Structures are given as C-alpha cells and as structure tokens.
C-alpha cells in the first residue's frame, strides 16, 4: 500500500516538472540579439574610431573602417557576460570596451545620433573680428 502512494506521488512530481517551460529538455530560449538599429550609444566617444583594430577572431588585426556595416554592428552589441566559477561575471577587458565603443561611435556618427556634447570638435581659435577678410 505504501509503495502505491509513493508511486502516485512520484507521478504527480514528474507531471509538475514536465509542465514547467524549461524542463522540456530543450535549452532555454536566449533573448534575441538587438537589431543593428538598436545599438546603444557609446559610453565614450572614440576619436578615429575607424582605425581601431579587432583583437580577436577572423577579423583580428582588421580596422573597423575596413569592415562592412553588419560586422561593425556585431562588434557594437553587448556580449553575453563571461561567468567565473563563483557565478559572477568577469569585468570586461579594456580592449573589448574600446572595440565596442569604437564600433558604436562609427554607427552613431553615420546616423548622426551622437549627442552634440559628445561629438569631438576641433578647438576654436581666438578670432579677431576686426580683421575678418569678408
């Protein structure tokens, strides 16, 4: 009699577990990567962003200005965090941050969506308005 109760309880547990969305055996669905038009603004505007070279993968050593728009948009996206053994994410490497900000700078410069305060400008020379030739 006790074995039948235990068996019935195990069946109910299995059914409850199978009803959960992530218990189907299939990997949990990853959130869709943002489209290239959803590229966040750079945390820092990188001067000469096109000269920044990719430091990993098949484009290692290639300047961003030599890559297509889709590739630049891919480097501009926020990557999945790399987790340590303790479950905490590793801090981003400086070269990764530079590449990401350079790609974001390029994209937003082309779109004209950089904040006006963040656009690097040439220093303004002192102008003597009395000697303007026009």
Domain layout of the chain by residue ranges: 33-119
pLDDT value of residue 82: 86
3-class DSSP assignment, residue 130: helix
pLDDT value of residue 113: 85
3-class DSSP assignment, residue 123: coil
Residues 6+ apart with CB under 8 A from 53: 60, 61, 62, 63, 64
pLDDT value of residue 71: 93
Q: pLDDT in tens for each of the 134 residues of the chain?
A: 688 889 989 898 888 888 776 644 555 555 554 444 588 889 899 999 999 999 999 999 999 999 999 999 999 999 888 888 888 888 999 999 999 999 999 999 998 888 765 445 455 555 555 665 55
pLDDT value of residue 128: 57
Inter-CA distances, 114 with 91, 108, 119, 121, Å = 26, 5, 6, 13
pLDDT value of residue 14: 87
Cα-Cα-Cα-Cα dihedral sign, residues 109, 66, 54, 74: positive
Residues 6+ apart with CB under 8 A from 36: 69, 70, 73, 76, 107
In 20-115, alpha helices (H): 69-76, 94-111
Q: Residue 79 and residue 82: Cα distance in Å, rounded?
A: 9
Inter-CA distances, 44 with 6, 13, 29, 39, Å = 61, 52, 32, 14
pLDDT value of residue 66: 94
pLDDT value of residue 62: 94
**At which residue do the structure tokens 């779109």 appear?**
111
């Amino acid at each position: 009699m006790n074995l039948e109760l235990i068996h019935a309880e195990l069946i109910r547990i299995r059914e409850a577990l199978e009803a959960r969305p992530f218990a189907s055996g299939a990997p949990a669905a990853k959130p869709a990567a943002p489209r290239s038009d959803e590229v966040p603004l750079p945390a820092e505007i990188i001067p000469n962003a096109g000269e920044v070279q990719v430091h990993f993968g098949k484009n290692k050593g290639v300047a961003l200005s030599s890559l297509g728009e889709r590739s630049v948009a891919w480097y501009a996206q926020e990557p999945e965090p790399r987790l340590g053994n303790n479950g905490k994410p590793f801090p981003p490497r400086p070269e990764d941050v530079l590449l990401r900000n350079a790609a974001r700078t390029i994209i937003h410069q082309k779109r004209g969506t950089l904040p006006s305060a963040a656009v690097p400008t040439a220093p303004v020379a002192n102008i003597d308005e009395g000697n303007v030739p026009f």
